[in-house]
Amino acid sequence: MADLYDFPEIYDERFTDGANQAYKQHYEKMLVSKSLRSILDCSFGTGNLTFPLLELGYEVSGSDISAPMLEKAAKKAREKGFDVPLAQCDFRELSGHFDRKFDCVMSTGSALGHVTNADVLKTIHEMDKCIVPGGWLYFDSRNWDAAPKSANRFIIPQPFYKEDGTRIGCVQVWDYNADGTITINIVHSYEKGRRIFDTNNFQEHLHPFSLETVKTELHNMGYSQPEIRPCPWFEDKPFDEIGWYCLMARKPG
């Protein structure tokens, strides 16, 4: 089955102006007390979760493993009038692709779940190598600790509409595999005049990881006690009630 990340146009369909504003407000709250200017997002994708940082005036660079996603990101950046240095690379090998360090290195879009648990920790160390002393490490993620196997396998997000009136529906079916991984089967339907005229099918193969594992690794690396918030951050909630969270911790220095 096709990989959603090979089709950036479809990937972008669900990201609205409202979502952009929500993430802009989220970053304002998360970063207001931090002294930082330069940011690298090592899972940049098409830029949806990072362009709000540019709108806030930060100096942003990006990298991603997907060439199609970066091509779309570069096109969107030009259209928005942004100059964003972009590099294609695997975040597990991040430090070999940048000859400078940043005030903050981010991984957005719950990208860490796409690699094994061991590679999550490897990526954390690669991100660390690109952060200035006293800088910040940030990532967001699905809350895998709150996604037990007993959860409803069938998820139907709210449909949304394109400017031409096309109604786009989505169904997700989560398969919990014997090796602990999760396969998310995604079906999109496109409808006009109460008739479906097109569909597509994709899969995501994910590796749930525990937040405590990452917190322990950061502690061993000398990082500050991490700040953990809902993502996007509208109001604070108990961790087990958060579906998607972000973590931000300061590097020693």
Let me know whether 117 and 181 are in one domain.
no
Let me know whether 132 and 216 are in one domain.
yes
pLDDT of residue 162: 83
**C-alpha–C-alpha distance, residues 243 and 104, integer Å:** 24
CA nearest neighbour of 167 among 210, 142, 198, 212: 198
Let me know whether 92 and 190 are in one domain.
no
Q: What is the mean pLDDT of the segment spanning 26-40?
A: 95
pLDDT of residue 112: 98
Q: What is the mean pLDDT of the segment spanning 53-77?
A: 95
Give per-residue pLDDT as tens, 151-200: 678 888 888 888 888 999 999 999 999 999 999 999 999 999 889 999 99
Q: Which amino acid is at 147?
A: A
Q: Give the structural domain span for 164.
A: 148-206
Of the two residues 241 and 6, the one the predictor is more confident about is 241
Q: Name every residue whose Cβ is closer than 8 Å to that of residue 113 and which is 6 or more positions away in sequence.
A: 141, 142, 144, 206, 207, 208, 209
Let me know whether 18 and 115 are in one domain.
yes
The kind and range of the H/E element at 106 are strand 102-107
Size of the chain, expressed as the number of residues it contains: 253
Let me know whether 13 and 98 are in one domain.
yes
Let me know whether 126 and 201 are in one domain.
no
Let me know whether 84 and 200 are in one domain.
no
Residue 219 has pLDDT above 60, yes or no: yes
Contact 47, 71 (CB under 8 A): no
Of all residues in the chain, the percent with pLDDT exceeding 90 is 82
Residue 143 has pLDDT above 90, yes or no: yes
Number of domains in the chain: 2
Let me know whether 181 and 85 are in one domain.
no
What is the token pair recorded at 9? 């146009």
Let me know whether 163 and 128 are in one domain.
no
Let me know whether 81 and 64 are in one domain.
yes
Let me know whether 15 and 133 are in one domain.
yes
Q: Global pTM?
A: 0.92
Let me know whether 132 and 213 are in one domain.
yes
CA nearest neighbour of 213 among 84, 91, 128, 120: 120
Q: What is the mean pLDDT of the segment spanning 129-154?
A: 89
Give per-residue pLDDT as tens, 79-131: 999 999 999 999 999 999 999 999 999 999 999 999 999 999 999 999 999 99
CATH of the domain at 93: 3.40.50.150
